[in-house]
Amino acid sequence: MCAVALGLAGCAGPADPGGPAADAGGGDAQPSDTATADAAIAPLVVRQQGLGRLELGTVELEQGSGLGPWLRFQLPPAARSVTLTALAPGVGLAVGQWQDGAGALQVVPSWLGGPLAPWLCLTGCVQRQAARPSQHSAWLVAEQAQQLPAGVWQVRTFGFDPQKESPISAVAKVRVDAVFGADSGKGVLRVNLCLTGALGITAALAKDHPRIQQAIGALQAIYAAAGVQVEVALVDVAVPNLLVEHDAADGELAELFATGAKLPMAINVFLVEQLYRTQASGTQPIAGLAGGIPGPPLEVGSPSAGVAISLALGPGEDDRLGTVIAHELGHFLGLYHTVEAAAAGADALQDQLADTDSDPKWLMHWSPGLGSAALSPEQMRILRASPWLQPVP
């Protein structure tokens, strides 16, 4: 299951009963205020390999509303995706309002009054966003064979207390990343498989470890169907805890991801002994957690920069390690579950794609099994719009 109620992408075992209901917030109201006419408009410059990055600066989030001031940037033509990332340790973060270069609202401010706010924006967001503690990324991907509108874009960051779920005053650092050019239908994805010593497995042992090598093979085969060549580096990392708890603040997850700060630039995937969350009914195991949907582009060591995978296997449980890694990487690259587990008295929440359904064949089903490996054409296109994808040499 994707733990969207806590703003995190995570997969629990098949017994997980939860699933969010639809967000009734939203509407098409215009922003109540706009950026001042004399506010600086920074240009985003296209650099090597069709990527662009612009630091928008540090902003203060207001105590009453949790909203920061409008930030504006000039987006050049031919953008395929735009990702906004905010960093404020200990603060719940989301995009409060977002207007594209054509003047259309991509994030409607009234979503903050919806029943799933502040953790999840559905009908108030053209493309869904899930909030995160400490570091949050949200993105927009152009429709097939189209580009995002060039021009002046405006955005306001929203901050809240992860425990109380109420707006707070804070300071956040915000940046924007963009991918430009046509989709080539292929790309290279670099992954650091981080061996933490869980179950006694080191990078040296992993080279010939049947379970690890089988998982890598499954991961590579799944992504090859999308034209993505996954290159895996085996690295040893020293971590503070092999048992990692997932909660609203996700402090233990941030500590885990921080250990990858000096690794080569790639998505860090940490193998730990167990992931879990504590509920009233007891401790619930989790198969995997991604640091966001999507995760922060092209950085390591920050609070949301990584994926955590449990090596624990329950009695009689199928070994889905390769599938779970592929699934969590799908979240980190921007994919939601094709369908969530239905909550009592509510319809199951679907993703926003026209070519997926509730069939468990999909890799991004809420509870993927050994045979869950399929990616739809739309999912493949979204994966290839990520800044993490590099051109094939």
Per-residue pLDDT of the chain (393 residues; tens, 9 = 90+): 344 333 345 554 333 323 222 222 333 333 333 334 345 798 999 998 999 999 999 999 999 999 999 999 999 999 999 999 999 999 999 999 999 999 999 999 999 999 999 999 998 999 999 999 999 999 999 999 899 999 999 999 999 999 999 999 999 999 999 999 999 999 999 999 999 999 999 999 999 999 999 999 999 999 999 999 999 999 999 999 999 999 999 999 999 999 999 999 999 999 999 999 998 888 999 999 999 999 999 999 999 999 999 999 988 889 999 999 999 999 999 999 999 987 655 577 899 999 999 999 999 999 999 999 999 999 999 999 999 999 998
Are 102 and 206 members of one domain? Answer: no
Residue 19 resides in a domain: no
Are 176 and 190 members of one domain? Answer: no
**CATH at 139:** 2.60.120.380
Contacts of 134 (CB under 8 A, 6+ apart): 87, 88, 89, 90, 91, 93, 249, 250, 254, 303, 304
Two structure tokens written together for 307? 């994926």
Are 169 and 190 members of one domain? Answer: no
Residue 297 resides in a domain: yes
Contacts of 287 (CB under 8 A, 6+ apart): 11, 12, 13, 275, 309, 310, 320, 324
What integer pLDDT is reported at residue 39 of this predicted model?
55
Are 73 and 196 members of one domain? Answer: no
**CATH at 253:** 3.40.390.10
What integer pLDDT is reported at residue 346 of this predicted model?
58
Are 207 and 342 members of one domain? Answer: yes
Are 109 and 87 members of one domain? Answer: yes
Are 146 and 224 members of one domain? Answer: no
Q: Which of 163, 180, 197 is the last residue of a domain?
A: 180
Query: Whole-model pTM?
Result: 0.91
Burial class (CB in 10 A: 0-12, 13-18, 19+), 154: buried
Are 195 and 334 members of one domain? Answer: yes
What sections of the chain are H helices per DSSP?
Answer: 203-206, 210-224, 251-258, 321-332, 377-383
Specify the number of domains making up the chain. 2
Looking at residue 177, the DSSP 8-state letter turns out to be E
Two structure tokens written together for 13? 């075992």
Angle at 354 between CA 350 and CA 358, to 5 degrees: 40
What integer pLDDT is reported at residue 123 of this predicted model?
86
Q: Which of 180, 202, 231 is the last residue of a domain?
A: 180
Could you list the residue range(s) of the whole structural domain that residue 52 is in? 42-180
Residue 368 resides in a domain: yes
Asked if residues 193 and 328 have their Cβ atoms less than 8 Å apart, the reply is no
